[in-house]
Structure 1
Amino acid sequence: MFAARVDTLQPLRADASELEMSDLRLMSVPPSVRDEGGSILQKTVPYPYDTVPPQTPLFLYFEIYHLGQSAQGQTRYTVTYEARRQTRKGFLGRLFGDDTNTEVTSTTAEYTGRKRQTEEYLQLDLDLEADPKRPQSTQVTVRVTDNVTGNEIERSISLTLTPSEGGR
């Protein structure tokens, strides 16, 4: 048996008048360095899987390019994060209609700066304390709006929350 994962990276446009965003990367902190002092962001490493067991600290990393600047040289942009989780209903849900339930959680943050390029980290709280009984498909979407130019771009990543070994 073997496993393969197809890379979905998209090339960035070089046009400086267009807002651009890197692909979203899942990051995590290895258990061996979680309790050490210092900034937790400096300890993050790429998380190479699309399945996530409970209690896994996840971060989302991405870069934003070509932000517009106001006459005063400031950048202003809004980032909206949305997590959309599909859960399966039980037997009665399948019997009386749609067998999936969709939960949507979102938040928005506004930023001001001076650089036309920035990098962002977001710690994901996917309610991993509640051990799912079945795998749950989750799509995380990040939408960036440049408040100076009005340009907008979004990227998404999919992952699956899995039950712990003891919860099966």
Structure 2
Amino acid sequence: MHPSGSFSFDDSTWPLLVVRLTGEPSLKTFEEFLSRSTQYLQRQERHVCIFDVSELHLLSTEQRQRQVEWLKTNEVLMRQALLGIAYVITSPIVRLTMGVIFHFKSPPAPYTIVSHPSEAGTWAAMRLEEARLRAPAEHVRREYRPLVEVQAGLISGRGVPGTAGAALPPHR
């Protein structure tokens, strides 16, 4: 049996929103997660989301259907507020699950699927930069600096091209 599921929302580096969904969420927990997600969209503030499901075990059929419904219901809000979504997925089963969900309803915002938070941070910073949110983009680059720099003692925070996939998650 897998540990019970949970979720968290970290907006401490807004306009970057980091969402984590872990374990096997109950139906109640999943509905709370969707409700909280809706609240962020209703703020109607442009932002990028890193959606980390690297510790998610599996969504039930009912939860997958509910996710598709939620995407359809919130399509306009997502199109208005989301500059992009970077999904962090490490499990082939979860990747397949997301593929099934996206088959029925793709996110209405640009998205990418990556296997490491550093790749998500690099992509999120790029999306912020494209939206002319340069200061937040630079902050995200510093937060998701490549592990190579940290190991070398170069903790200035500038990303090194070609090192995506080797960074530390944000420290809180």
TM-score by length of 1: 0.26
Structure that is richer in strand per residue: 1
**Greater radius of gyration (CA):** 1
Structure that is richer in helix per residue: 2
